[in-house]
């Protein structure tokens, strides 16, 4: 299958500091569901930002679907949920309004909303199980439901790839499990590539196909079940 993501010999450092990533090679095929885990400060969020073309490596190259990541020409196809996406939820907006904003990358909100856009927004809301809450203020929902609304916003653009940075931060264990099941279903039904970045991978360990463990470089890449027992020891701070 074609590669969705490819990193070749990527090294990255912030403002002349020590490298956060060193000589990273990574290839993710279209349609894979990959968890990228590692300790805080290990480089996993930086890796995601390089993949998205938001950071330029000091050495090496980053590609999205064969194009240089920083010049990727179809950015509306990137469904990106950054860390702390919950900021601003006190604004008096409804779930539907939040999700409708996901049509902006596709340039669909200039002029009246088209029936196609309304259908895509409605489908995205339904896909995350929030149809009955669509007209409620976002701030009235639980943390897990708010996170689902932001996922629906990413889905509304009809993305080719979904990229999540710490999507379970601040939500309880039940919400984490529900989110993992939701992402597994979306991956299966929509066929999108999913990159799930977290310092904890337990919630998705049973649904992802592949785990990439990052500690400055890639120290493990394979099925979660093949992860050496030592990495499951909390003293190694992989989670």
- Domain span including residue 237: 1-74+161-239
Residues 179, 70, single domain; the answer is: yes
- 236 pLDDT higher than 50: no
Number of domains in the chain: 2
73: helix, strand or coil: coil
- CATH, residue 227: 3.40.50.300
Specify if 80 maps to a domain: no
Note the pTM of the prediction, 2 decimals.
0.84
Q: How far is the CA of 114 from the CAs of 18, 41, 143, in angstroms?
A: 49, 44, 30
Last residue within a domain, chosen from 129, 159, 189: 159
Residues 137, 36, single domain; the answer is: no
59: helix, strand or coil: strand
Last residue within a domain, chosen from 159, 180, 202: 159
pLDDT digits (tens, 9 = 90+) for 61-114: 999 999 999 999 988 889 888 876 554 556 688 999 999 988 875 554 455 668
| Phi and psi angles of residue 135, each rounded to the nearest 5 degrees, phi first | -95, 5
Residue 1: pLDDT band with limits 50, 70, 90: low
Residues 167, 238, single domain; the answer is: yes
């Amino acid at each position: 299958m074609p590669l969705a993501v490819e990193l070749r010999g990527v090294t990255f450092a912030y403002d002349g500091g020590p490298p956060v990533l060193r000589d990273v090679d990574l290839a993710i095929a279209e349609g894979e569901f990959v968890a990228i885990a590692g300790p805080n400060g290990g480089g996993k969020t930086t890796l995601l930002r390089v993949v998205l073309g938001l950071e330029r490596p000091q050495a090496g190259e980053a590609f999205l679907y064969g194009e240089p990541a920083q010049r990727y020409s179809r950015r509306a196809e990137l469904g990106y949920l950054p860390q702390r996406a919950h900021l601003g939820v006190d604004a008096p907006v409804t779930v539907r309004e939040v999700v409708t904003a996901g049509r902006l990358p596709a340039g669909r909100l200039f002029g009246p909303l088209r029936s196609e856009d309304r259908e895509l927004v409605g489908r995205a809301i339904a896909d995350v199980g929030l149809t009955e809450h669509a007209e409620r203020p976002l701030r009235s929902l639980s943390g897990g439901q708010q996170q689902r609304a932001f996922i629906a916003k990413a889905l509304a653009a009809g993305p080719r790839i979904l990229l999540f940075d710490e999507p379970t931060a601040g939500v309880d264990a039940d919400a984490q499990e529900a989110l993992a099941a939701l992402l597994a279903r979306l991956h299966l039904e929509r066929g999108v590539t999913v990159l799930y970045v977290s310092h904890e991978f337990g919630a998705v360990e049973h649904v992802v196909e592949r785990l990439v463990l990052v500690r400055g470089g890639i120290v493990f890449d394979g099925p979660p079940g093949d992860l050496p027992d030592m990495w499951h020891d909390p003293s190694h701070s992989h989670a």
